[in-house]
Amino acid sequence: MSFKVKIKNDGEFVFNEPIRVYELSRDSSEKIIAGLFNDQLVDLRSTICEDGEFEFITIDHELAPQVYRHTMSHIMAQAVMNIYGKDNIRLGIGPTIENGFYYDFEILNGKIAEEDLPKIEEEMRKIIDQDIKIERIEMSKDEAISLMKQRGQIYKVELLQDLQEKTVTLFKQGDFVDLCRGPHLPSTGMVKHFKLLSISGAYWRGDEKRPMLQRIYGTAFANREQLEKYLNFLEEAKKRDHRKLGPALGIFFIDFDVAPGMPIFTPNGTTILRELMEFSRQLHREFGYEEVMTPLVMSEKLWRMSGHWDHYKENMYFTSKEEQQFAIKPMNCPGHILIYKNRTVSYKDLPLRFFEFGRVHRYERSGVLHGLFRVRSFTQDDAHIFCRADQIEQEIAGVINFVHRIYSPFGFEYSAELSTMPENHMGDVQTWQKATEALRCAMDSVGLKYVVKEGEGAFYGPKIDFHIRDSIGRTWQCATIQLDFLMPQRFELVYTDIDGNYCQPVMIHRAIYGSLERFLGILIEHYAGAFPTWLAPVQVMIIPIADRHHSYAQSVKSVLVQNGIRAEVDLRRETLGYKIRDAQSMKIPYMFIVGDKEQTAGTVSVRIRKGSEFSGKSLESVLDIILKEIKTRSLKNLMEE
């Protein structure tokens, strides 16, 4: 039976028997490392025997990193076995990840330390220099199980036993053999630019009840320039790490002995959070939302009715009192539903928009806790819109506009994703299709560009996710809009239409910051701790040169505070240079230096965080500039313009 293959930039060809991918090539001058057949990466050594479209993947193709990084993970695994002994190593998994790869190992005798990474890199270079041919082997599942048992690779045996396929693929380079789907490079010498980054613990298959393995992370690129650029990026990201900057700047800390995963905010951190909330509140009022407050602890009956009991129970905290079971809320939506049910609603009342800075608690495994980015206690800028079906498009459009208004003052660019029905979902397929199409129409109506993420919606409805891009190019998922026809049905929510009939409203779940704590962590890294003046915990540090200037410094502070500016006076008996350096290390936007000349003239000398200086400025003129900077939420220091 013949089949057709359309090769990109080369025409369509008919074949009467299976053909190896590499045999499709008409040009051997390019470094072809894999193929893309019907939008799936395929190994050069695999066969094609069906109709489809094919594209060659060369080393500079956008999909090439998936191939050469996967090969690099195998090279690393072979190097580890060479160093520590193949009978001493049990292999886990070694996939590619964004910008890199990792491999999990169990060392039967000994342990891999961080200082061992250069030694492993050296062994990897030897394997690369040997340019070992990489073979693709097909065998039956039973044969593969037998082979892995002989080699003592119990984790590979477990993976094989879970597979449904009767035939599996393995890849071999020298005496190293690994279970893998591929694709891989033709040989080990085709990519040379790599770096091992770190080592950590990882439970086998992410299960805390299973053995703890050692995971080595690395990265690889097609050329040295790309590798060096990425390593420089990692260094910059390391300098901005909010887990170090946050405590150093006196913003937050986490006490893992008494409250693991639950950040504690100092006055500085609370000031920033308060500013974020006030900014959000102003916009909520402008967009017609009503602020509400709901209990932290509510009966399990509520969570059973909402569906969280069935779909989210493992992530919830519980308590019992007076023979009743209660849950600490992981979400705010059921509380807002209770507010809706507590009133009689007419079609004229809709839409109703409730929002809350709601504290929620979710159990996260200790191994995944990560500063402010992954916590167990956090505050959501949560809102729920109850509307008629004919109001969906305009309400979604309004939320999209809200997102833009929130993100703009921080200098964030953003992109959007539409996530559709997951495998674990409530409700019927028809309802999901209706909800998904409503979101799609709303996004199209406002011209919002987006990509579709199949199967990644919430369990109760499809959603739009927004990803912001920070100052060094990283993206973070923050805002989300979720359309829900199911929760109103479960809670029997109704409104009366123009004819007095009962109708079911539509519910829109919405958060913009997402989590205030996580958003703050992103801001710390985005600004490297140097917050714009409107967000800075201390906006002006007044530094008297000598003790005789203390009184004047305090009078300057009084004027600033009366005008709503957060100011402090440094009265310590330290040198002027020391005080200035300390204020700069704390990333305070403005320093006012006051001495004899300033005290006599009633002026201040201004030093900007970046080092610019302005002598003999009247307090009134500087005050006007700072107030304008705060009012406009400027990202720039206006004195330098």
Residues 277 and 519 sit within 8 Å (Cβ to Cβ):
no
Report the alpha-carbon angle 132-138-144, nearest 5. Answer: 100
- Please report the pLDDT score of residue 29 as a whole number: 54
- Please report the pLDDT score of residue 30 as a whole number: 63
Spatial CA neighbour of 177 closest among 211, 137, 146, 141: 137
Dihedral sign for Cα 594, 595, 600, 605, please. negative
pLDDT tens digits along 159-207: 999 998 899 999 999 999 999 998 999 999 998 999 999 999 888 988 8
Residues 609 and 620 sit within 8 Å (Cβ to Cβ):
no
Spatial CA neighbour of 205 closest among 156, 171, 169: 156
Residues 174 and 25 sit within 8 Å (Cβ to Cβ):
no
Q: How far apart are CA 556 and CA 543, in angstroms?
A: 11
Dihedral sign for Cα 140, 145, 148, 154, please. positive
- Please report the pLDDT score of residue 238 as a whole number: 92
- Please report the pLDDT score of residue 28 as a whole number: 56
pLDDT tens digits along 197-245: 999 988 898 887 899 999 999 999 999 999 999 999 999 999 999 999 9
pLDDT bin (cut points 50, 70, 90) of residue 544 is very high
Q: How far apart are CA 66 and CA 95, in angstroms?
A: 9
Spatial CA neighbour of 263 closest among 381, 380, 376, 382: 376
- For 14, counting Cβ atoms within 10 Å of its Cβ (0-12 exposed, 13-18 middle, 19+ buried), the class is exposed
- Please report the pLDDT score of residue 1 as a whole number: 59
Q: What are the φ and ψ backbone dihedral angles of 536, each rounded to 5 degrees?
A: -60, 130
Q: How much of the chain, in percent, has pLDDT values that exceed 90?
A: 72
pLDDT tens digits along 479-514: 999 888 888 988 999 999 999 999 999 999 999 999
Spatial CA neighbour of 554 closest among 565, 564, 568, 540: 568
**Where do the domains of the chain lie?**
3-58, 64-239, 252-526, 540-640
CA 611 to chain centre: 34
- Is residue 59 classed as helix, strand or coil in its secondary structure? coil
Q: Mean pLDDT, to the nearest integer, of 34-61?
A: 90
Q: What are the φ and ψ backbone dihedral angles of 422, each rounded to 5 degrees?
A: -85, 170
Helices 392-407, 267-286: axis angle to 10 degrees equals: 140
Q: Mean pLDDT, to the nearest integer, of 416-425?
A: 88
Spatial CA neighbour of 237 closest among 470, 399, 573: 470
Torsion angle of the four alpha carbons 90, 95, 100, 104, in this order, in degrees rounded to the nearest 10: -20
- Please report the pLDDT score of residue 155 as a whole number: 95
pLDDT tens digits along 108-117: 998 999 999 9
Q: What are the φ and ψ backbone dihedral angles of 34, each rounded to 5 degrees?
A: -170, -175
Q: Indicate the average pLDDT of the chain.
A: 92
User: Buried b / exposed e across 520-558, counting CB within 10 Å, b at 16+?
Assistant: bbbbbbbbbbbbbbbbbbbbbbbbbbeeebeebbeebbe
Between β-strands 290-291 and 352-361, what pairing exists: parallel, antiparallel or unpaired? parallel
Name the least confident of 27-41, 252-266, 278-292, 312-326: 27-41
Residues 601 and 616 sit within 8 Å (Cβ to Cβ):
yes
User: Buried b / exposed e across 422-432, counting CB within 10 Å, b at 16+?
Assistant: eeebbbeeebb
Residue whose tokens read 């969570």: 303
Write out the two tokens for 109. Answer: 């005798």
CATH tag for 64-239 (out of 3.30.430.20, 2.40.30.10, 3.30.980.10, 3.10.20.30) = 3.30.980.10
Name the least confident of 52-66, 326-340, 454-468: 454-468
CATH tag for 540-640 (out of 3.40.50.800, 3.40.190.10, 3.20.20.80, 1.25.10.10) = 3.40.50.800
Helices 117-129, 64-84: axis angle to 10 degrees equals: 110
DSSP state of 102: E
Write out the two tokens for 566. Answer: 């957060």
Q: How far apart are CA 79 and CA 77, in angstroms?
A: 5
Q: How far apart are CA 449 and CA 466, in angstroms?
A: 11
Q: How far apart are CA 297 and CA 317, in angstroms?
A: 10
Neighbours of 624 (CB within 10 A): 13
- Please report the pLDDT score of residue 26 as a whole number: 63
| Whether CATH 3.40.309.10 fits 252-526 | no
Between β-strands 252-253 and 11-15, what pairing exists: parallel, antiparallel or unpaired? unpaired
- Please report the pLDDT score of residue 100 as a whole number: 95
Q: Mean pLDDT, to the nearest integer, of 375-404?
A: 93
User: Buried b / exposed e across 358-396, counting CB within 10 Å, b at 16+?
Assistant: bbbbbbeeeeebebbbbbbbbbbbbbbbbbbeebbbebb
Residue 220 pairs in a beta bridge with 194
Task: Answer yes or no: is pLDDT of 639 > 90.
Answer: no
User: Would you say how long the chain is, in residues?
Assistant: 641
Max Cα distance, the chain (Å): 99
- Please report the pLDDT score of residue 488 as a whole number: 92
User: Strands of 52-58's sheet, edge to edge?
Assistant: 11-15, 3-7, 52-58, 32-37, 40-42
- Please report the pLDDT score of residue 216 as a whole number: 96
- Please report the pLDDT score of residue 627 as a whole number: 96
pLDDT bin (cut points 50, 70, 90) of residue 21 is confident
H or E element in which residue 605 lies? strand 603-608
Catalytic residues: 333, 362, 380, 382, 384, 463, 509
Between β-strands 506-515 and 502-503, what pairing exists: parallel, antiparallel or unpaired? unpaired
Which amino acid makes up residue 254? I
Report the alpha-carbon angle 297-424-262, nearest 5. Answer: 35
Which CATH code is given to the segment(s) 3-58? 3.10.20.30
H or E element in which residue 66 lies? helix 64-84
Residue whose tokens read 């674990």: 424
Residue 495 pairs in a beta bridge with 503
